[in-house]
Amino acid sequence: MNLQIMNVTKEFKDKKAVDKVNLTLAPGVWGLLGANGAGKTTLMRMITDIMSPSSGVIKYNGKDIKKLGKLYREILGFLPQEFGCSSDFSVVDYLEYVAAYKGIEKKVARKKIAELLDILTLSDVKKKKIVKLSGGMRRRVGIAQAMLNNPEILILDEPTAGLDPGERIRFRNFISEFSQDRIVLISTHIVSDIEYISTQNAIMKGGKIVDVGTTEELVKQIEGKVWSALIPAKEVAVFERKLRIINQKNEPNGMVSIRYLSSNSEVDNSVNEEPRLEDLYLWLFPEAAYEREVK
Ligand SMILES: Nc1ncnc2c1ncn2[C@@H]1O[C@H](COP(=O)(O)OP(=O)(O)OP(=O)(O)O)[C@@H](O)[C@H]1O
């Protein structure tokens, strides 16, 4: 099974949101990483056939998804970024409604819904109206509706937004298990949510895929560029101006330990650290560190 994105471009009036993207997705979990405006949502909308490319073609097992039409939608599950069912439905009524819409037999749907409610820890709120749920719960209802038809291709746009740490861990384990023989594409700003479950990652910048690889392969390019060091607390502001500090923690005796990115050691006592995917993300998207702070 594969999904080929072939020379796909999407142009809006004055903006090329996706620019000649070529990518072949094989079964596994795919992380789609990129800063705000990189083109992730636009690419996902084209993969789900909600939006048509300005040029290029997307093929599922060698066949144009446009020509597959309904057949393609039957094997597809999608959680849109803006999923926020504002109707008066209860959780279970909503999921039954979506299942009927997707043409899933009632008995099969009931069993699947019960299973998903359990896995996504929504059983206790299944009779509650969706509008009355917390943001994290609503997101999980969104994940459930995307998975009702046991999709071979599952596209999740920012699935972990609003989930608490426990929910995140459950989500990761669940997706890892689910992705056997399926293609799962996840876009997220929370790099740690895909770092350990993604089989491959694709990095987008300015509408283009700039890198593809496993987490281990990708972080190799910043090996030797991630450092930790101890600095006096009173000098933090000075160091902040000259270094790309990505983490800092207060230590005893008026010292602060910092983790920073640089081609060379910039503080005497610096020690090289094992690079992580988040380090690479911040190396490629320095502005993201600022975005995180202001959010
Ligand atoms: N319908 C549209 N009309 C005009 N420009 C658009 C439209 N949709 C997206 N864009 C622009 O295309 C670019 C890519 O947007 P897109 O939403 O795909 O990025 P993204 O990587 O998903 O960002 P985010 O993480 O913030 O959702 C942005 O500059 C955006 O403003």
pLDDT > 90: percent of the chain: 78
- Identity (one letter) of the amino acid at 290? Y
**Per residue in 97-115, pLDDT tens?**
999 988 899 999 999 999 9
Q: Is 112 touching ligand 1 by the criterion CB < 6 Å?
A: no
Nearest to 265 by CA among 227, 213, 220, 237: 227
Measure 16 CA to ligand 1 centroid, in angstroms: 9
Residue whose Cα lies nearest atom 11 of ligand 1: it is: 17
**Per residue in 211-268, pLDDT tens?**
999 999 999 999 999 999 999 999 999 999 999 999 999 999 999 999 999 999 999 9
Measure 206 CA to ligand 1 centroid, in angstroms: 10
Mean pLDDT of 151-175: 90
Residue whose Cα lies nearest atom 31 of ligand 1: it is: 37
Q: Domain 3-220 carries which CATH code?
A: 3.40.50.300
**Per residue in 41-69, pLDDT tens?**
999 999 999 999 999 999 999 999 999 99
Locate all alpha helices (DSSP H) within the chain, ordered by sequence. Answer: 40-47, 65-68, 70-74, 91-101, 106-119, 135-147, 165-178, 192-195, 215-219, 236-242, 277-284, 286-294
Mean pLDDT of 144-165: 93
- pLDDT number for residue 114: 97
In the sheet that holds 63-64, the strands lie side by side as 15-25, 3-12, 55-60, 63-64
Measure 17 CA to ligand 1 centroid, in angstroms: 6
- Can you tell me which atom of ligand 1 is nearest the CA of 39? 18
The average confidence (pLDDT) of the chain is 92
- pLDDT number for residue 292: 46
Q: Report how far residue 261's alpha carbon sits from residue 283's, in angstroms, rounded to the nearest whole number.
A: 7
- pLDDT number for residue 36: 87
- pLDDT number for residue 206: 93
CA angle 20, 21, 22 (to 5 degrees): 120
Measure 189 CA to ligand 1 centroid, in angstroms: 15
Cβ burial of 102 (10 Å; 0-12, 13-18, 19+) is middle
Q: Is 280 touching ligand 1 by the criterion CB < 6 Å?
A: no
Nearest to 240 by CA among 259, 268, 263: 259
CA–CA distance from 206 to each of 24, 34, 44, 219, 230 (Å)? Answer: 19, 9, 15, 20, 36
From 13, 15, 186, the mutation candidate for ligand 1 (largest count of ligand atoms within 8 A of CB) is: 15
Q: Is 34 touching ligand 1 by the criterion CB < 6 Å?
A: yes
Q: What value of ipTM does the predicted structure carry?
A: 0.96
What does the domain layout of the chain look like in residue ranges?
A: 3-220, 221-294
- pLDDT number for residue 86: 65
16-30, 67-81, 276-290: segment of lowest average pLDDT: 276-290
CA–CA distance from 285 to each of 35, 51, 91, 114, 210 (Å)? Answer: 7, 27, 38, 41, 12
Under 8 Å between Cβ of 200 and 30: yes
